[in-house]
Amino acid sequence: NWNAFNLLNYLEELPPIKLRNIYESHWTCQAVLRALPPIAKQYVLRILFIAGSVPENTVSNWSQSAASDKHAAALDAMQRLQILQPQPDRAGGCSYALQPAFQANLQRALCLRHPGGSGGVPAAVKQAAPSPADVEKYSSNQWEALLLYLMDPNKGAPAAPAYMEQKRLEVWRLFSAAGLVEENARSSRWNVTRAGFQFLFSDTYRQMWRLLREYIDMAEASSGAELTSTIGFLLHLGFRSTPCAYSDLSPEEQRMAADMAALGVLCPFQTADRRVYVSPTPLACSICAGGSAGAKAVDGFIIVETNFKVYAYTSSATRISILRQFMRLEVILPNLVVGTITRESAVQAFTSSITASQIVTFLRQHASPHIAERVPVVPQVIADQIHLWENEQNRVRTYEASLFENFGSQEAFQKACKHAREIGVWLWQDDKKLRLVTMMHGFDDMKKFIKANK
């Protein structure tokens, strides 16, 4: 389930002891608050500055009966994250309190102006720092290079600048651990898996968290890095708005900073005196953004017409490669791609494990703002036809099978048919010509049985 690749889902899956330790970082606490559903967020803020617990009756009165489902969902989300802890009270009932470390660190974060402080930025750093537009361009270029590398390993993996003096991030290991690629025995290239195509058709937020989950696990396994410090550092990036001196980071943080620079989460630069700084990019902000925020298309560029023509206003090599997966490209201009969704191009996509739903969702999520008011943004006839083409592929499936014939008698033939049914490999039989077809995996068993019952 690709909707599950987000911060909250990752934290929910952690063992309780690790989750408790993670809440020792106020950056994690702030990120969790930001990512919570709106009602759960409101409940946290209501309880945050209460020293004791809140009776269950009081909490139940926070919602009207018509909203009981949303109320229960909010409490359930908080309890799965272990930030809301039910406690028995003296009257034999139940009360609720926030997890102590989460409560204390969130209070600290909200009450201090600069919790963990970013400090002032020296004039020399401001002068050398790239503009917001340049930071965003660096980020998008690095992420695009990563997606291109996934589709074609000959393109080369994105890397941090050499002046950061760190071991190059092995991006292919992230892909492999995430199940996005598999080895190709016939060549040095890898094959993109079904999960890999799902990754390509997902939004950037879920792509980011799919790789970060593997990155965090690999960091913990390979270097013994503490889970708390790794997650705390990554989430801290989402709250920074100013550059950070690379030399001020610990050796472990410097390694992570270089890796994040390779992925486009941080933008590195040097001052006149060769000091290295890193500045957070929009991708850093997406690390602790909510899933709903990440699911929205930032810049729609596609117009789909009822005649199956697609106009994509883009010069991105990644986007063009994705479009090529399910449509026939006819014209490629510097900032415009024109193509047609045909039965042949759709079937080619289906054979690559791309689903009709993924194609339609991709077209909807990246619809141009010029057609945003059109309902639906992807004409229904187009969406329906893509699904119909997919259904055509699912009507007939081929399996390897075994044919048995030349039985000595009708009795031997019927015994073989009965045995095939009993072991679950029977496919077809012809009583007149004494022919039996079974699944291939039952060949040895059937051969032994027929030989023994001649």
pLDDT digit string, tens, across residues 128-157: 999 999 999 999 999 999 999 999 888 889
pLDDT at 381 over 90: yes
Same domain? 77 vs 15? yes
In a domain, 134, yes or no: yes
| Share of the chain residues as helix, strand and coil, in percent rounded to the nearest 5 | 55, 15, 30
Same domain? 191 vs 301? no
| Number of residues assigned to the chain | 454
In a domain, 119, yes or no: no
In a domain, 141, yes or no: yes
pLDDT at 92 over 90: no
In a domain, 116, yes or no: no
Same domain? 373 vs 436? no
Same domain? 131 vs 208? yes
pLDDT given at position 69: 92
Least confidently predicted of 11-20, 390-399, 420-429: 390-399
Which residue in this structure is represented by tokens 């992230």?
174
Domain ranges, residue 430: 401-452
Element (H, E) at 84: strand 84-88
Instruction: Specify the amino acid at residue 195.
Output: A
Instruction: Give the mean pLDDT of 181-191.
Output: 79
Same domain? 308 vs 284? no
CATH classification of the domain holding 414? 3.30.70.2610
In a domain, 165, yes or no: yes
Same domain? 202 vs 343? no
Strand order from edge to edge, sheet including 266-270: 244-245, 276-280, 266-270
Same domain? 199 vs 160? yes
Q: Which tens digit of pLDDT belongs to each residue from 221-274?
A: 876 667 888 899 999 998 888 899 999 999 999 999 999 999 999 999 999 999
pLDDT at 436 over 60: yes
In a domain, 173, yes or no: yes
pLDDT at 374 over 70: yes
CATH classification of the domain holding 45? 1.10.10
Mean of the per-residue pLDDT values of the chain: 89
Least confidently predicted of 2-6, 29-33, 60-64, 185-189: 2-6
Of the residues 111, 142, 161, the one at which a domain ends:
111
Q: Which tens digit of pLDDT belongs to each residue from 303-342?
A: 999 999 999 999 998 999 999 999 999 999 999 999 999 9
Instruction: Give the mean pLDDT of 286-310.
Output: 74
Same domain? 406 vs 370? no
Same domain? 374 vs 417? no
